[in-house]
Amino acid sequence: MTYENILAETRGKVGLVTLNRPKALNALSLAMMREIGKALDAFEQDDAIGAVVMTGSDRAFAAGADIRDLQEKEFMHLFLADFPHGPTEGWHSLNTMRKPVIAAVAGLALGGGCEMAMACDMIIAAENARFGQPEIKLGTMPGAGGTQRLTRTIGKAKAMDLCLTGRMMDVQEAERSGLVSRIVPVAELLDEALKVADTIANMSRPVVYLVKEAVNVSFSSTLQEGLRFESRAFHSTFATEDRREGMAAFVEKREPQFKHR
């Protein structure tokens, strides 16, 4: 399928979504968000795909929601559409999909761009990456996780600092704060992200789903509830063929052949 604002392609078992509005620094227009949703839905439904990478350009992952799209919007429109979480937008697909999504971030990840990277399951960043929630400078505020995911990830002090001043943080600060899992040179970003995604795509898919769900449950549960969920999920891996294969392969000193069953 071809799109106007993104590129969607496959690299082996990995789906790759490239945001492609270079003139607007990949600002997330409504049209682009709908295309992202369609591309993610297609990868989610494709049995040959085990993980997804989302990336932008060397200059910008995404410089936020498209301010020109939002400029004339009124409360009632946004409220009735449940923007940005409504069912037709890319955010909905990103928030609900089971396959892991890796954000490969070079350059700017601002506003909705930072929020989109955080809605992914992991952020791998290039040395030139910069993150920020500058919405307050526009007289508005983060609306897609900037006050929530950011706070849970980097803590109150830094989340308040970023959301209240609109300042950007560089990649070292982002990594120190726990927002970014790895920093790589710009030229190696995509290869590294694809390699990580391929590693995940070769694991047992049901177990990948359980791990992603269990990590995410930690954000919405008490420790007791989370530990209970985790142990139940762990028990359920013993109902899979892949767990049997994984342990047999270890004992027999060979690579496991997971069948996603």
Residues that bind ligand CAA (CB under 6 A): 24-25, 27, 63-68, 84, 108, 110-112, 115, 134-135, 138, 142-144, 146
CA distance 96 to 82: 15
Residue number with CB closer to ligand CAA (27 or 102): 27
Residue number with CB closer to ligand CAA (108 or 126): 108
Please state at what angle helix 205-217 crosses helix 223-237, rounded to 10 degrees.
Answer: 170
> Does the annotation mark 65 as catalytic?
yes
CA distance 184 to 206: 30
Minimum Å distance from CB 140 to ligand CAA? 6
> Does the annotation mark 252 as catalytic?
no
Residue number with CB closer to ligand CAA (33 or 189): 33
CA distance 59 to 27: 12
Which of 39, 89, 106, 115 is flagged as catalytic? 115
Which of 65, 103, 129, 197 is flagged as catalytic? 65
List the one residue out of 137, 136, 139, 162 whose CA is nearest residue 150.
162
Minimum Å distance from CB 251 to ligand CAA? 50
Strand 130-132 and strand 108-110: pairing? parallel
- State the amino acid at position 2 in one-letter form: T
Minimum Å distance from CB 106 to ligand CAA? 14
Which of 135, 193, 201, 214 is flagged as catalytic? 135
> Does the annotation mark 112 as catalytic?
yes
CB-neighbour burial class of residue 151 (10 A; exposed 0-12, middle 13-18, buried 19+): middle
Which residue numbers are catalytic? 65, 112, 115, 135
